[in-house]
Amino acid sequence: MSDASTALTREWVTLQNNHEQYERSALLIKIVAILVFTVGTVWPHGTSLNGDIYFGILCFVLCVLWLQEAILRTSQARLGERLLRIETCQRDGTGHALQLHSEWLASRKGSLGLLGEYARHALRPTIAFPHALLATLLALLALCH
């Protein structure tokens, strides 16, 4: 195995481990969102805060968790793109190791492009679940309150 191939292999293993860690982190965010929703909806909120304010705060926290997952998934997608390029490089015998940030910087579309990337990831079904469902349930609870 050549030095370039060894470097690409090491990079692939490192990025793959990080990619899987992002997956676990995203699952943790979903679990936290479900717990926040559950505790927030069964807690006797009428005792200290106006119900509308309470549901507003709860909605804000759930939206922050949704956005946090979208940001995390956007970073994970970048790792996935680089992993695919490394696999192509290994197969074709081309390419250079240690190019994750250089490739990302070369393809970056500015701040608005980054925000759009976050929004697109947030709307993917695997990310939107359970956040959209929790938001819908929270809206229904607020209407019934």
Give the model's pLDDT for residue 74.
96
Q: What is the pTM of this model?
A: 0.87
Are the C-beta atoms of residues 37 and 137 closer than 8 Å to each other? Answer: yes
Are the C-beta atoms of residues 126 and 64 closer than 8 Å to each other? Answer: no
Q: Between 20 and 2, where is the model more confident?
A: 20
pLDDT at 141 over 60: yes
Strands, E, within 15-82: which ranges? none
Give the model's pLDDT for residue 109.
86
Give the model's pLDDT for residue 47.
54
pLDDT at 49 over 90: no
SS3 labels along 91-103: HHCCCCCCCHHHH
> Which range scores top for mean pLDDT: 17-21, 54-58, 108-112?
17-21
- The end-to-end CA distance of the chain, in Å, is 66
Give the residue among 100, 102, 25 at the shortest CA–CA distance from 69: 25
Give the residue among 8, 132, 18 at the shortest CA–CA distance from 77: 18
Give the model's pLDDT for residue 45.
60
Give the model's pLDDT for residue 94.
83
